[in-house]
Amino acid sequence: MPSVVREMPLFASLTMLHVTNHWQMRACDGLRVVLQHREMREIESMRARTGPMRGPGIADLASEASNWAEEYLASETHVQEIGPGGDWTKEFLEQQHGLTSPDIIPDSDTRWAHEYLSETLLDEAASAEASKWVEEYNPQEDSELARTANELLGTVDDPKFSNTEFMSFIKILGEGAKTDTNKDWSEEFLTSNSKEAGSLAESWSAEFIKERRQPHERWGEEFAKQLGSLDNMTIDSETMSTKEKEDFWQNLQDEWEKMAREDELTEHPWLSEFNSTAFEPFKNYQFEEDNPLKDHPDPLSEGKRCLEAGDLPSAVLLFEAAAQQSPENAEAWLLLGVTHAENEQDPSAISALRRCVEIDPNNSVAWMALATSYTNESYQTLACNSLKEWIRVNPEYNHSLPINDEAIHRKPRLMATTLAPRELIQEVQDLYIAAANQRPGENIDADVQCGLGVLFNLTGEYEKAIDCFNASLSVRPKDAKLWNKLGATLANSERSEEAIDAYRNALEISPGFIRCRYNLGISCINLGAHREAMEHFLEALNMQAAGRGPGGKESSRAVSDNIWTTLKICLSSLNARHLMDAVDKRDLKRLNAEYEVTSSS
Amino acid sequence: MSDDNVRILRTPGHHGYGVKFSPFNPNLVAVATGQNFGLLGRGKLILSDLCLPDDGVVSSCEWSDALFDLTWSEQSPNNIVTASGDGTLHLWDTANPQAPLMVYQEHLKEVYSVDWSQTQDYQVFVSASWDTTLKLWDPNRSRSLMTMTGHEALVYQAVWSPHLSGCIASVAGDGILRIWNTKKNSQPSITIRVCEGEVLSCDWCKYNENVIATASTDANIYGWDLRQPTLPIFILFGHEYPVRRVKFSPFIETQLASASYDFTTRVWDHTAPSPCLEVMKNHTEFVYGLDLSNHKEGVMADCAWDQTVAIYHPGKPHLTPHEALQ
C-alpha cells in the first residue's frame, strides 16, 4: 500500500485564504503543489482544471441543466451492480468521463487509475527506500517546492495559525526535514514513506516543475472570471435555451412517467420527487432572451392596455421592455411582478417585486403583492415581513409599529423559512387587527382586510380568512384578485363548490386571469370533475401560448410549469396515457382537439 | 487546559479525523486518526473506555494509510468500519485488532466519510469518497451494492437519515447537498446548492425528518427544510473559519453542535434569539471530529489535529476562565 503524501483538501487551505485576499489562489495552488505526489499529480492537474470548471459551473448556469442531463443519461446506462474487476474499472472510468467535461479529462487519467490499482496490490516496500526519498529530497535542489511552501507560510498572518503544529509541518516541507528540531517529524518521514525513492525524486521534481505553471495560471484566470460573474449567477430553468430546456424536460418527464407507472406514492413527497435543478436563493430577475417587444416606444402604457384586455403574456413582455428601458422605474417592476403573479409565475413575480421595493421601499402595493406570492410559495416568514412592511409604509397605521423595529427588507435572505415563528405571525396579526379596528364600522380598509386574510391563510384559520376577504370584497366588489383569493381560501378549506363560484366571479371580471383559471381547474379536480378541469387547464395554457407579440415567437418564459404539471396529473387520473407524450411535447394542438377546446388565437 | 468537566485523551503522534461514541456502550469512544495530519504515513483506529484512567485505550487497529472516518456497527457491539486515505474501507473487530475482518476496496481515491444505516431494517453502510462517488456496502460482501454518482467534486460526507429508510444525504466540494433514495435508484432525488464554496458536513435533525443542516467553507451553518429547499430555514453565524462538522443533538430537537477550523466547537439552538449557546476552545489545532452521545444527554466528544480528544458536557460551569460565553 503506497503511503503517499496526500494532497490536502482544498478547503483546509481555504482556511488560510480568509486571511489574505489576492494571494488566495496562488496560496492554495501552492499548497496543493507542495503536497502532491507523483501519482497524485495527474489527478491534481485534472482537479486544477476541474477547479476552474467549478467557476463556470456556478456562474454560467445555462449549462448546468444540460450537464445534469448528460450525466443522468450517461450514468443511467451504467448499471451500478457488481461486475468483474477489470470491466468494472473500465465502466467506472467511462462514467467518470461523463461526470466532468470531456475536454478536460486527460488521457493520463486512465493510466493513473490502472497504476494506482496495481500499486495497491503491491506489498509494502522496505522503509530503507523511504529514507532514500527523504535524503534525496533536498530543498535547495527542489527550490520550487520549498518556495511554494514558504509562500504559503508567508500568506498566513493570523498568529493563531502560524503557531500551529500544522504550519510547522508545512515549514518542514519548506526547509527540509533534517533541519527541523522536532525529532518525531523526521522519524515519521523516514519510516512512513514506502515509495520507491530514486525514480520518485527525479521524475517527480522534473514533472512537477513542468506541470506547475499551467494549472496555476488557469486558476488565476478562472478565479477572476468567477469573481466578475458572481453577480449574475443563476440557476433557473427559465434561463436555459430551448434545446437545453427540452432535454431537461425530456429527462424529467421520463422519470415522472416511470414513477407514474409504478403508481406508488411515498409519504414523503420530496423523497420521490424527481428534481434535478439545484435550488438557488432568490436571484436577480431574468429577462426573456428574445423579447420581440423590447424596443417598443411606450411599453408601459401598451402593457397596461394589454393587462386591461386580459392579455397577460404580452403584458409581461411589454413590462419587461419597460423595465429594461428604464431600470429605475418602480412602476414598471411593480406591474411586471403583479402580472407574473396573475400569470401563475410566483418566482418571477417575487424577483420583480423585490426589485420594485428596492427602488421604492414605500410602495405598499408591491409589499402586499409580495406577501401573497410569498405565501403561495410557502415562505411564511418573508410573507409576514412583507405584510409588516406594508404597515410600515402606510401613514395611517404605522404608528403602531415600535420605533426600533428594524426594516426587514434589508436582510431578506435570513428570513426565509417555511415555518414562521409563532411570535412573528402573532405580531403581524395583531398589527393588522389593530389597523382594522382603527376604522369604525362600515368604513372598511380593503387592503387591511386583504392582508389579514393572507395572514389567516398562513396559519390555516380559513374561516377567519374568508370573513376578511368577504369584508374586503364588500368594499371592492370588482376586484378579480380578491375573488381569486377568496376562492383559493375556500378551496383550501375544502369548500370547493363555493370556491368555484368565487373563481367564476373573478373570471367574469377578468377573463385573462390565468392563475384564476388554473385554480378553477384544481377545484374541479377536487370535486372529481377531471374532464372539466382539463378544459380549464387547456384554456389557461392556450392563453399563455397566445401571448407572442407581433414577432410570433413563443415566449418560453410565459409558460407556467405548474399548469403543465397539474395537467399531467389530471391526465393520469383520466387514464389518458396515450396523451402523455403530447404533454411531454407540449402539443397543445393535439390536446385541444382531444378535449374539444378551441384555442384563443 | 484540561478542566474538571473536560476530559482530554491523548493520541500521540496521530491526528484525529473522526470520533464516534459506541451505540451500545456509553463509555466507549473510538477515534480515527492519521500520522502527519493524515497527509502521509499510517493510520490508527483507537478505542477508549472512559471508565479507565488517563487515555483509557482499550485497543487500537492500525492501517498503512491514514484513517479519515469511522462508524460503529449497529448490529455487533465490537465492530467498527473505518475509511482510509488509500481508498479502502475496513471492518474491524475491536477484540481482535491485529487485522481487519474485511477490506472493501473499490474507491479510486480517499474515502472521507462512512456511515452505518440508522434505520434498523437495513444493515448497510455508505462510503463517500474524493472520487466523487458514494458506495453502498453490505458488511458481509466485499463488493459494493450500489455506486451513486452525481457529485462533481470531492464528497466530504454522507449521512443516513434516521427517519426514512434508505435515504442518504451527501455534501461535496461542488457546494451541493444531495439527497439520495437508495431504494429507488442510484440517482439523487434532490439537489440543493448550499453556498459558493464547499460543503464539508451535513446532519439530519433527529426529530424532524425534513430538516437537515450543512456546514461549509463560508463558515456558516445552514439549515434546510426539504419540503421547500429554495432557501435555508436558518443560518448560524459565528465561526470565523470553515466549519468542518455539524451534528444535531439526539436529545433536543433544535440543538446542534459544530466543529471548525477556528479551533472551536460550538453548541447552537437555531430557534433561540441568540443561537450560539456555547463556545468551547479545547484545542490548539483544527477540530476535525465531533460526536454527541446517544446515551448521556449533553455529553460530547471532539477530536483535533493537536493529537487530543476532548470529552465534555457543555453547559456546566467549566469553561476555561478566559473564554467568554457568546
Q: Residue A280 pLDDT more than 70?
A: no
Q: What 8-state DSSP symbol labels residue B284?
A: S
Q: In degrees, to the nearest 5, what angle opens at C-alpha A82 toward C-alphas A79 and A88? A: 80
Mutation site, A1, A4, A6, interface B, largest B CB count within 10 A? A6
pLDDT tens readout for residues A549-583: 443 344 445 566 778 878 887 887 777 777 888 88
pLDDT tens readout for residues B115-162: 999 887 778 999 999 999 999 999 888 888 888 888 888 999 999 999
Instruction: Find the distance separating the first CA and the last CA of chain A, reported in whole Å.
Output: 72
Q: How many Å apart are CA A424 and CA A430, to the nearest integer? A: 10
Q: Residue B13 pLDDT more than 70?
A: yes
Confidence at residue A149, expressed as pLDDT on a 0 to 100 scale: 59
Cβ(A589)–Cβ(A597) below 8 Å: no
More confident residue, A2 or A518: A518
Cβ(B16)–Cβ(B25) below 8 Å: no
Mutation site, A152, A163, A268, A379, interface B, largest B CB count within 10 A? A268
Q: What does the block give as the cell for A241?
A: 435555451
Q: Residue A93 pLDDT more than 80?
A: no
Q: Residue A30 pLDDT more than 70?
A: no
The packing angle between helices A10-17 and A143-155, to 10°, is 50
Mean pLDDT confidence for A310-338: 89
Q: How many Å apart are CA B243 and CA A336, to the nearest integer? A: 41
> Which of the given ranges, A12-26, A201-215, A283-297, B124-138, has the highest pLDDT on average?
B124-138
Task: Give chain A's mean pLDDT.
Answer: 64
Cβ(A113)–Cβ(A179) below 8 Å: no
More confident residue, A285 or A79: A285
Mean pLDDT confidence for A211-220: 40
Q: How many Å apart are CA A599 and CA A541, to the nearest integer? A: 9
Confidence at residue A204, expressed as pLDDT on a 0 to 100 scale: 41
Q: Residue A252 pLDDT more than 50?
A: yes
CA distance A272 to chain B (A): 6
Q: Which B residues in the span 14-33 are in contact with A, Cβ-Cβ below 8 Å?
A: none
Stretch among A138-142, A234-238, B214-218, B266-270 having the lowest mean pLDDT: A234-238
Q: Residue A401 pLDDT more than 90?
A: no
**A80, A117, A271 member nearest B164 (Cβ):** A271
Q: What letter represents residue B72's amino acid? A: W
The hierarchical CATH code for the domain B3-325 is 2.130.10.10
List chain B residues with CB under 8 Å of A85: none
More confident residue, A74 or B212: B212
Sort strands B188-193 and B176-181 into parallel, antiparallel or unpaired. antiparallel
Q: From B229, which residue of chain A is nearest by alpha-carbon distance?
A: A279
Contacts of A464 (CB under 8 A, 6+ apart): A452, A456
Query: Please, which pLDDT band fits residue B2 given cuts at 50, 70 and 90?
Result: very low
SS3 A236: coil
Confidence at residue A156, expressed as pLDDT on a 0 to 100 scale: 62
Stretch among A255-259, A316-320, A434-438, A509-513 having the lowest mean pLDDT: A255-259
Q: Which A residues in the span 369-388 are in contact with B, Cβ-Cβ below 8 Å?
A: 377-379
Q: Which A residues in the span 12-31 are in contact with B, Cβ-Cβ below 8 Å?
A: 12, 14-15, 18
SS3 B215: strand
CA distance A256 to chain B (A): 12
Confidence at residue B27, expressed as pLDDT on a 0 to 100 scale: 92
Q: How many Å apart are CA A344 and CA B195, to the nearest integer? A: 29
Q: What does the block give as the cell for A277?
A: 435543478
Q: Which A residues in the span 194-223 are in contact with B, Cβ-Cβ below 8 Å?
A: 194
Q: What is the CA radius of gyration of chain B?
A: 18
Cβ(B244)–Cβ(B215) below 8 Å: yes
Mean pLDDT confidence for B237-246: 91
Contacts of A201 (CB under 8 A, 6+ apart): A133, A136, A137
Contacts of A514 (CB under 8 A, 6+ apart): A312, A342, A343, A344, A540, A543, A544, A560, A563
Cβ(B326)–Cβ(B276) below 8 Å: yes
Q: From B190, which residue of chain A is nearest by alpha-carbon distance?
A: A275
Q: Residue A83 pLDDT more than 90?
A: no
CA distance B27 to chain A (A): 30
More confident residue, A285 or A463: A463
Q: How many Å apart are CA A101 and CA A79, to the nearest integer? A: 21
**A2, A117, A268 member nearest B164 (Cβ):** A268
Q: What is the CA radius of gyration of chain A?
A: 31
Confidence at residue A347, expressed as pLDDT on a 0 to 100 scale: 84
Q: Residue A501 pLDDT more than 90?
A: yes
Q: What letter represents residue B79's amino acid? A: N
Q: What percent of chain B has pLDDT over 90?
A: 54
Measured CA to CA in angstroms, residue A10 lies from A7, A136, A148, B190 at distances of: 8, 28, 15, 25
Stretch among A377-386, A396-405, B138-147, B191-200 having the lowest mean pLDDT: A396-405
SS3 A265: coil
pLDDT tens readout for residues B63-115: 999 999 999 999 899 999 999 999 999 999 999 888 999 999 999 999 999 99
Q: Which B residues in the span 282-301 are in contact with A, Cβ-Cβ below 8 Å?
A: 284-286
Mean pLDDT confidence for B17-31: 94
List chain A residues with CB under 8 Å of B145: 82
Interchain proximity B231–A413, CB inside 8 Å? yes
For residue A352, give the nearest of A318, A305, A320, A396 by alpha carbon. A320
Q: Residue A159 pLDDT more than 70?
A: yes
Q: How many Å apart are CA B286 and CA A61, to the nearest integer? A: 34
List chain A residues with CB under 8 Å of B164: 268, 271
Q: What does the block give as the cell for B305?
A: 489535529
Query: Please, which pLDDT band fits residue A36 given cuts at 50, 70 and 90?
Result: very low
Q: How many Å apart are CA A462 and CA A486, to the nearest integer? A: 10
SS3 B34: strand
CA distance A270 to chain B (A): 6
B175 contacts chain A (CB < 8 A): yes
Mutation site, B36, B119, B163, B176, interface A, largest A CB count within 10 A? B36
Name B248's bridge partners.
Answer: B256
Q: From A8, which residue of chain B is nearest by alpha-carbon distance?
A: B39
Domain limits, chain B = 3-325
Q: Which A residues in the span 103-142 are in contact with B, Cβ-Cβ below 8 Å?
A: 113, 116-117, 120, 124
For residue A154, give the nearest of A252, A338, A30 by alpha carbon. A30
Q: How many Å apart are CA B76 and CA B93, to the nearest integer? A: 9
More confident residue, B80 or A544: B80
Mean pLDDT confidence for A393-420: 58
B162 contacts chain A (CB < 8 A): no
CA distance B85 to chain A (A): 8
Interchain proximity A281–B231, CB inside 8 Å? yes
pLDDT tens readout for residues B190-231: 888 888 888 999 999 999 888 999 999 888 999 998 888 888
Mutation site, A4, A11, A200, interface B, largest B CB count within 10 A? A11
Query: Please, which pLDDT band fits residue B285 given cuts at 50, 70 and 90?
Result: confident
Query: Please, which pLDDT band fits residue B46 given cuts at 50, 70 and 90?
Result: very high
Stretch among A9-13, A291-295, A371-375 having the lowest mean pLDDT: A9-13
Q: Residue A33 pLDDT more than 60?
A: no
